[in-house]
Chains A and B, each alone.
Chain A
Amino acid sequence: MNLAFALAAAVLFGTGAYLLLNRDLVRVALGVVLISQAATLTIVASGLSRGEAPIYPFDDAAAGETSDPLTQAMALTAIVIGFAVVALLLVLILRTVTAFRSRELDEIASEEAARDAELEREDAGEHDREEAAAE
C-alpha cells in the first residue's frame, strides 16, 4: 500500500462521509458511491505486486514472482456489488421522493417525529386517565 493510494482512498472516504451527512437525498447516494469507491481502491492497493502473469499451473521455470491476481478479482466483485446496491439505493430514493414529494431528509424525519409525538401524547393521556381512575 503506497502513500498515493492511501491518500486517494482517504480523500474519497472523507468526501463520501461529508456528503452522507447532507440533507439532500441525492447527495447521500453520491456519498455512498464515493465510499464504495474508497473501499474498492483500498482492495486494489492491498496487494500491489509486479511479476509474471498468474496463470495456473505455475511454470517451474519461471520460479520468480507472479503478480497477485486475487486483488483484481476482489476489486471487480466489489465494483459489481457496489454498483448493484447503489442502483438499489437510487431506486429507493426515487420512490421516497415520489412518496414525500421532497428531496429533503428533514421532511421525512419531521414526519416521523410528528408520529412519535402523537404516540407520546396518546400514552400520556392514557397514563393521566389511569392515575385519575386510581385516585
Chain B
Amino acid sequence: MSALWISLVIPWAAGAILVVCDGRRPAIGWAAVAAVAANLVALVVLASEVLASGAMSETTGDWPLGVGITVRADELGILFALLSSLAVLAALIHETLEGCHDRVFPGLTVLLTTGLTGVFLTGDLFNFYVFFELAMAAAYVLSTYGGTRRELGSALVFTTVNLLGTFVFLLSVAGVYHVTGSLDMAQIGERLAGVDASTAVLIAVGFFVAFAVKLGLFPFHFWLPTVYTGSGPAVAAILSGGLANIGAYGLLRFGGELLPAELELAAVALIVLGSASVLYGGLLAISRRSAGEMLAYSAIGQVGYVLIAIGIGGPVGFGAAILYAVVNALNKTLMFLGSRMRGTLVGAAFALGALSIAGVPPAAGFVGKLELFRAVAGEPVLIALLLLGSILSLIYAFQIYQFDFWRLEREGAVGHAGQRAVVAVLALLVLAIGIWPEPLLALSQDAAEALGGSGS
C-alpha cells in the first residue's frame, strides 16, 4: 500500500461508516477529524515522495497501462490536495468544538475530503468526473447545514447552478472522448493537439464554464454571495477553502495541460473576465458592513487575479496563478472561520488576514501579489488594474476590521479556546508563508513547469 492509495482509502472508508453514525455525538466528530488528519498525513508523506523522485502514477486493479484507471500524483495535484485537506480539517475541528447539530455533518465532510483528494490525484478524465461529483454531492448537503429557511433557499440555488455546471462538464468529457478516443489525461493532451481548432474550442468553452461556475467568476458568480453568507462559518470555509480549489485546479490542468493552444487563443477573453471579477468583487465588497458578506464578494474579486494570471500563461503566469490560488484559499479559510468570533486574538488574526487579502507584507498575500506583478510586468493597463484591485481590497478589509473590532459591532461569542487556537494556527501559517515564502514559491514554480507552460 503506497501513500497514494492510503490517502484515498482512509477517508473513503471512514466517510462511508461515519455518514450513518449520529454526528451530533462528539466522538463521531473527533473520529471524522482523525480520518481527515490521517488523509492529510498521507498526503504529506506522498508530497515528500513526489518532491524527492518526481511525479508517480499507478494503475488500478493491476490492469496494464492504458486499460485500467490511472491515479497519479504530480506537484500541481499534490499541492492542491494538501491545501484542500488542510482547509477542510480546520473547518471540521472548528465545528466539532462548537458541537455539531446535524447527524451527517462529520461523515459528509470526510466524504468531501475523499472527493477532493481523488479529483486532484487522478489521471483519468472520467474518474475526475466521478470524484468531482462525490465532492459536489457532499457539498450540496453541507450547504443546507443549519436547516433554517435561509440555508435551504441558498442550498437550492447552489445545487441547481452547480448541477448545471457539472453536466456541462460531462458534455465536454463526452466531446473529448469522441475526438480523442482516450480518457487518460496524458494521452488526451497529445491527441488534442491534432484536433481542428473549432472542435477543440467548443470543448474548451464547456470546461471553462464548468470551472468558472465552481470558482464563482464574474459572470458566473450570481449564486455565490447568497450561499457564502447564508451558510455558517465552517461550511463557508469548506466551500471557499476546499471546494473552490477544484475550479482553479481544473482551469490550470485542463487549460494548461490538455488545451494549451485554446488557452492562448482565449488569453484576452480570460484577462478581461478576470479584470471584471476583480473590479466587481472589490466594488461590491466595499459597500458591505458585515464580515461574511464582505468575504463573499471578496472571493469573487480574488479569483479574478487567478484567472488573469492563467490568461497570461507561461511558467511565470501559471506559477503566479497556483501561488495566488493557494494563498487565497488559506486567507478565506482563516477569515471565514473567524468571521463570527470576538476577542483580541481573533482580531489580530483578522487583521493579518485583511493584510493578506490586500497583499501587504508580512502576510502571505504579499508574496502572491508580488508574483502577479512579476507576471504582468510590461503591461501598464494590467499593473494599474492590480494596483486598483489592491487598494479596493485594502479599503474593504480594513473597513470591516474597523466596524467589528474597533467599534465592537461584531455579534458572536468569544469562542472556545480550541477554536481560537485553530484560527491562530491558520494565521501563523499565513504569516509564515509571508515571511518565508521560498518553499511554496519553489513548489508552485515546479508545478507550473510540470504543466509545460510554453506560453508567452
A interface with B by C-beta (< 8 Å): 1, 20, 25, 28, 32, 35-36, 38-39, 42-43, 45-47, 56, 68, 70-71, 74, 77-78, 81, 84-85, 88-89, 92-93, 95-96, 99-100, 108-109, 111-112, 115, 119, 122-123, 126
Contacts and interface: CB of A to CB of B under 8 A. Distances in A.
15 contacts: A32-B163, A35-B164, A36-B167, A39-B170, A39-B174, A42-B170, A46-B178, A47-B177, A74-B126, A77-B126, A81-B130, A88-B137, A92-B155, A95-B147, A119-B290
Nearest to A97: B152
Contacts of B173: 43
A20 B164 contact: yes
B133 interface: yes
The 9 A-B pairs at the shortest CB distance, nearest first, are namely A46-B178, A42-B174, A39-B170, A46-B174, A43-B174, A39-B167, A108-B153, A46-B177, A96-B152
Contacts of A112: 150, 153-154, 226
A81 B133 contact: yes
B175 A46 contact: yes
B141 interface: yes
A97 to B, nearest CB: 10
Contacts of A47: 177-178, 181
A84 B159 CA distance: 13
Contacts of A28: 160
Contact of A92 (B144, B166, B293): B144
Given A35-B164, A42-B171, A78-B170, 19 more contacts: A20-B160, A32-B160, A32-B164, A36-B163, A42-B170, A43-B174, A43-B177, A46-B175, A46-B177, A47-B178, A56-B67, A81-B130, A81-B133, A89-B140, A92-B159, A100-B149, A100-B153, A119-B289, A126-B289
B140 A85 contact: yes
A96 B156 contact: yes
Contacts of A46: 174-175, 177-178
Contacts of A109: 153
A20 B156 CA distance: 12
Contacts of B166: 85
A96 to B, nearest CB: 5
A71 to B, nearest CB: 7
A92 B140 contact: yes
A111 B133 contact: no
A105 to B, nearest CB: 8
B76 interface: no
A47 B181 CA distance: 7
